[in-house]
Amino acid sequence: MAAAGYGVSDFFGGVAARRVTALRVVVVSYPFSVLLVLLIAPLVGGHADTASMMWGLAAGVASGLAVWWFYAALADGPMSVVSPVTAVLVAGIPVIAGLFLGERPGPLAVAGIALALIAVVLVSREAPDKTTEEIIGGRELRFTRRVALLTVGSGAAFGFAFYFLHATSPSAGLWPLLGQRAAATAVVWTSALAAGQFRGLHGEPLRLALAIGVLDVIANAALLYAFHGGLLSVVSVIGSLYPAATVLLAMVLLGERIGGMQKVGMALVLTAVAMIAAN
């Protein structure tokens, strides 16, 4: 559910970003998600212990920085390189962390994890098209040292955000998400102010931003409960497969064409999830 939630959220974000900048979307969706967690968390219950709240705040700072750096990398670098590198770091860092923590998934799960890492790279690849060229005004996008640092920083920050959520206590309920969404909002608002994009939305972009806020809460809540009931190395990889849902929705609802490697990646996603689930 977490992967599906993230994937649908990214799809809505992509649609909204065709009308306004992506930063303007999250400036609205992030604080809205804070309000949603404030409404839901008391109903779920749990004790907001200090350690879990600190882990939640750390996850929010990490995810907020990840979004900021990811958009900055996409602004100047080729998406066909930035997206796959980010995706493999998002999936790979929690796997390494889980192994250091002593996790030992079964042989079939290990094979599924390896396959999923390949799948997420293939699904995340996007070939440049005429629309992209129009948006950037014919400017050549290069994977410069700055873009590389932003890309690696974004992927690493996303990966550590997964680890921080995993470190929260199951008894804390959804309260760590409140810290996460609040901290992420602070980071995103700071980045939007720095970029001169701190402006409101109206019409369809506003409706999409609110929908993204709902989906983000659902995805993060599902991921939090999955971390408390499963291995970091396994849950994080399944959660990182969200680009598959985004690509599928773009293909079905928008009629977008997907490349041959993306089709292979979609098939590998299904195979990897089946292997991990069967372990």
Instruction: Write the CB contacts of 20 (distance below 8 Å, at least 6 apart in sequence).
Output: 201, 205
Task: Tell me what pLDDT residue 174 has.
Answer: 92
DSSP run (H or E) holding 152: helix 145-166
Cα separation, 207 vs 16, in Å, equals 9
Give the model's pLDDT for residue 128. Answer: 46
210, burial (CB in 10 Å: exposed 0-12, middle 13-18, buried 19+): middle
8 Å CB contact between 187 and 61: yes
* Whole-angstrom distance, CA of residue 85 vs CA of residue 38: 34
pLDDT at 61: 96
State which residues form the domain around 36: 1-278
pLDDT, block means (10 residues), the chain with 279 residues: 50 58 83 94 90 95 88 71 75 83 81 80 60 45 80 89 91 93 94 84 84 86 86 77 63 66 78 70
What is the domain count for the chain? 1
Output the pLDDT for position 98: 84
The whole-number pLDDT of residue 3 equals 46
pLDDT at 60: 94
What pLDDT does residue 183 have? Answer: 96
Q: What is the pLDDT of residue 9?
A: 53
